[in-house]
Amino acid sequence: MASTFPLGLSQSSATFYHIHLLTHQEECLFGDVLGEQTQLNYAGQIAADEWQQIATTHQRDITLDHWTVVPNGMRALIVIVNNDGPMSSGYTRQSTTKPRALSSFVAGFKAAAAKRINLVRGVPGAPVWQRGYQEQRIDDPQTLARIRQLLTNQAQASGLLATDAAKNLTQLSQPVE
């Protein structure tokens, strides 16, 4: 999916995380791969809807950059916005630990998506997700650009990339300064 990240933020005011969430037992619960295209089913569409919905409730701390739904999970670049501001010495706080906002965001998404998916499947309480998730803090512009391109390619294969957003891909793939 195209970036909604405000490109004006500096590296010191935002931290990027590449996250990967997998379905329970890596089941292809969200769709199928047909040739080079991913065909999302109802569960994949629910996951995409909930991803965007939960982002609006966390918009003070979290911004979605690129993301995509794959048949057995979700992959995304998440931006944690540093709202603490500069310290009295003029330096911006740069935490090396994962912010609670990221864990809260992922937990909220997983719970909401699982509830809706299980309602449609008629199996309340059935596991949808694996425990936890994989994360990688992104500290350099080259890695950020590479992961953005990977997620853009996957989003195009899933049909999640709108044509209006495709026009801006060159701009969105530029490293944040």
Tell me if 173 is assigned to some domain: no
Residue 156: predicted pLDDT: 85
Which CATH number fits the domain that encloses residue 77?
3.30.70.1290
On whether residue 5 sits in a domain, the answer given is no
pLDDT means over runs of 10, the chain (177 residues): 45 84 96 87 96 87 91 94 54 54 93 97 96 94 94 82 38 35
Residue 153 CA to residue 172 CA, distance in Å, equals 13
101 is a domain residue: yes
Degrees (nearest 5) of the Cα angle 133, 68, 24?
Answer: 40
Residues 100, 108 contacting (CB under 8 angstroms): no
- 28 within some domain: yes
Number of domains present in the structure of the chain: 1
Within-domain flag for 64: yes
